[in-house]
Amino acid sequence: MGRSEEFFARAKRVLPGGVNSPVRAFGSVGGVPRFVRRGLGSRIVDEDGKEYLDLVCSWGPLLLGHAAQPALDAARAAMENGLTFGAPTAAEVEIAELITQNVPHVEMIRMVNSGTEAVMSALRVARGFTGRDKVIKFSGCYHGHCDSMLVKAGSGALTFGRPNSAGVTAGAAADTLLAAYNDPQSVERLFRENPGQVACVIVEPVAANMGVVPPQDGFLQALRRLCDENGALLIFDEVITGFRLCFGGAAQAFGVTPDLVTYGKIIGGGMPVGAYGGRREIMEMVSPLGPVYQAGTLSGNPVAMAAGLATLRALHERPELYSRVNRLGALLRGELENRLGPSCAVTGVGSLCCVFFTPGPVRCYEDAQRADTAQYARFFHYALDHGLYLAPAQFEAMFLSAAHTEEDVRFAAGVIADAAAYAKEGDA
């Protein structure tokens, strides 16, 4: 028995499903999760010493790659002074200044510890600011695991067939209205049916938790218009896209300005950081300034801030990193479109990519749901056995980093093409 198997057997006795986050359990693809010992650049090594080219990259935080020097050096230096104080520190100001000075629609920001916490807080602020109760989300979009968002949620909730989690009360879900991604009319109808009651529309500006589903032309612009017409706030959940597509995220990439934005992943450079921010008049609702309460013992943790600040500084000072990583994403999609038959849909934006085991186009949750997850499972394990670490679930994304090379991308494309062919043979 290998060390991953040994660890998994032990883990299942003391951790639910043997993991601390469901998608890691290989539940939808089967087999034994690889316990990772270390990561470096574009690669990870598991407890059995096997090396993989990594296209998960911890689900998005590692735009500079594993063990990137800026984050490591900064965190190492910060921890020499202590791990946490529960008091303000300079790094919190510096990272907030870096963001507010370079992301125009973020005039004020609050640091928290995860994307979930950022979304939960942004929803509360939107309700506090508007005095309204209802929120509109999109089927298949995932915004973390706060109760009101576990309604037709994506990512692991979709993967494990529980888009509506047990334990979420009808009351908690009652104010969550569901629209269809890339369908502005579905949003317009909800506004019409709930006049004056919708506090906000929350959207992944590039959906990346039902696989990757880019916004159709005009979709995000329509959401902006509908929110303005109905006195609701537009929240971009940029936990994945923030600081990934470009420094200003999807808002900058697509030229649509949200009222609030949520961040996670890259903002911490690999350490646990989330954040929410936006227009000053809205953010001034947040305690201790305003009546919307939100707090956190480790919010703005100095070691996490150091890692996040070093990462954002590197990205801001070296914009060529964005052109390179986005070019690698385009190269991967191009290679896959040339190699995979019409039975697979290749999607993506920037350094995000996805192979759906269903013919395209994939424009919403219903389209994504047609994917053959049994084929995906065979595909995943073939790739894993050939040294390529992909998301252990169809309804996720492939993430590239600045540590990946063209050679990495061509290797990945080759393995993916072979893996897809193998997966389809299984159906023969």
Catalytic residue flag (residue 50): no
DSSP category for residue 23: G
Question: What is the C-alpha to C-alpha distance for residues 307 and 61, in angstroms, rounded to an integer?
Answer: 11
- The contacts of residue 369 (CB under 8 Å, 6+ apart) are none
Comparing CB distances to ligand KE4, the nearer of 68 and 393 is 393
Answer left, alpha or beta for residue 67, where phi above 0 means left and psi between -120 and 50 means alpha.
left
Q: One symbol per residue from 193 to 222: x for binding ligand KE4 (CB under 6 A), - otherwise; what is it?
A: -----------x----x-------------
Comparing CB distances to ligand KE4, the nearer of 240 and 314 is 240
Q: Is 164 in the site for ligand KE4 (CB under 6 A)?
A: no
Rounded least distance, CB 181 to ligand KE4, Å: 13
Q: Is 181 in the site for ligand KE4 (CB under 6 A)?
A: no
- Compute CA distances 331 → 145, 328, 379, 384, 410, whole Å: 33, 5, 21, 21, 8
Rounded least distance, CB 144 to ligand KE4, Å: 3
**Quick one: which H or E segment has residue 409?**
helix 406-425
Rounded least distance, CB 221 to ligand KE4, Å: 20
Comparing CB distances to ligand KE4, the nearer of 4 and 209 is 209
- Asked if residue 47 lies in contact with residue 3, where contact means CB atoms within 8 angstroms, the answer is yes
Binding residues among 354-383 for ligand KE4 as defined by CB under 6 A: none
Per-residue H/E/C for 36-103: EEEEEECEEEECCCCEEEECCHHHCCCCCCECCHHHHHHHHHHHCCCCCCCCCCHHHHHHHHHHHHHC
Question: What is the C-alpha to C-alpha distance for residues 34 and 52, in angstroms, rounded to an integer?
Answer: 10
Span near ligand KE4 by CB under 6 A; candidates 120-128, 236-244, 283-291, 294-302: 236-244
Q: Is 240 in the site for ligand KE4 (CB under 6 A)?
A: yes
From 175, 237, 259, 408, active-site residue:
237
From 54, 134, 137, 142, active-site residue:
142
Catalytic residue flag (residue 237): yes
How many residues sit close enough to ligand KE4 to count as binding (CB under 6 A)?
A: 20
The one among 43, 134, 143, 424 contacting ligand KE4 by CB under 6 A: 143
DSSP category for residue 35: P
Binding residues among 24-63 for ligand KE4 as defined by CB under 6 A: 59
C-alpha dihedral over 405, 99, 262, 290, to 10 degrees?
A: 170
Binding residues among 105-134 for ligand KE4 as defined by CB under 6 A: 114-116, 119
Catalytic residue flag (residue 142): yes
Rounded least distance, CB 149 to ligand KE4, Å: 8
Q: Which stretches within 195-319 are classed as H helix?
A: 219-230, 249-254, 280-283, 302-317
Comparing CB distances to ligand KE4, the nearer of 155 and 326 is 155
Comparing CB distances to ligand KE4, the nearer of 250 and 331 is 250
Answer left, alpha or beta for residue 218, where phi above 0 means left and psi between -120 and 50 means alpha.
left
Which pair of tokens denotes residue 97? 């200044």
Binding residues among 56-95 for ligand KE4 as defined by CB under 6 A: 59
Per-residue H/E/C for 177-195: EEECCCCHHHHHHHHHHCC
- Asked if residue 325 lies in contact with residue 256, where contact means CB atoms within 8 angstroms, the answer is no
Binding residues among 241-270 for ligand KE4 as defined by CB under 6 A: 264
From 152, 265, 382, 389, active-site residue:
265
Q: Is 276 in the site for ligand KE4 (CB under 6 A)?
A: no
- Asked if residue 344 lies in contact with residue 391, where contact means CB atoms within 8 angstroms, the answer is no
> Which residues of this chain interact with ligand KE4, rule CB under 6 A?
21, 23, 59, 114-116, 119, 142-144, 155-156, 204, 209, 237, 239-240, 264, 274, 396
Which residues are part of the catalytic machinery? 142, 237, 265
